[in-house]
Amino acid sequence: MNAIHNFVRVSLPNYFRSIPLPKDIYGFRDLSGPEILRLVAFVVLVVVILYSLFHSLAGFGSNSNAGAKQPSADSEKAKDQLVNMTVEKDKDKVVTARDIEDLGDKAVFCRCWRSAKFPLCDGTHNKHNKDTGDNVGPLVIERKPKEPESKKDD
């Protein structure tokens, strides 16, 4: 604890006092080489810290889904690339499991992520395809018809 106290109370203030900040714009021409290097190092450090803070906090707090992950700094580009716009945005990954026995003879699953009945398809992809020129369609799973018993023995 004493080391942290010394750093905050002694070392940090001494470091800030040692930074050669000129009183006006003309004071920069009077700086020596080592003073310029100390000033440049300080400016680079501040820029890196601010850049890191900005990118780690960018986008957070703007969505009503608390805890949901947000696109990073290139948020406009990232939003254009999103596939899932509304389904379970509070989760890291959307996973839906179904027992194959429960599917019946046919099941139609959404692949456009816009279905109100997700994970089942409700035909919303038709409007999406018309609006965007895309060609996405559903995943259709059908049970093969059972072969008659007499053919199996041949």
Q: Which of 93, 146, 151, 152 is catalytic?
A: 93
CA 30, 36, 41: angle at the middle one, nearest 5?
155
Instruction: Identify the CA nearest to 34 among candidates 19, 44, 46.
Output: 19
The residues, ordered by sequence, that sit 6+ positions from 28 with a Cβ below 8 Å of its Cβ are: 22
Cα gap 28→82, rounded to integer Å:
48
93 has catalytic annotation: yes
Cα gap 42→21, rounded to integer Å:
11
3-state secondary structure 65-114: CCCCCCCCCCHHHHHHHCCCCCCCCCCCCCCCCCCHHHHCCEEEECCCCC
- So which residues are the catalytic ones? 93
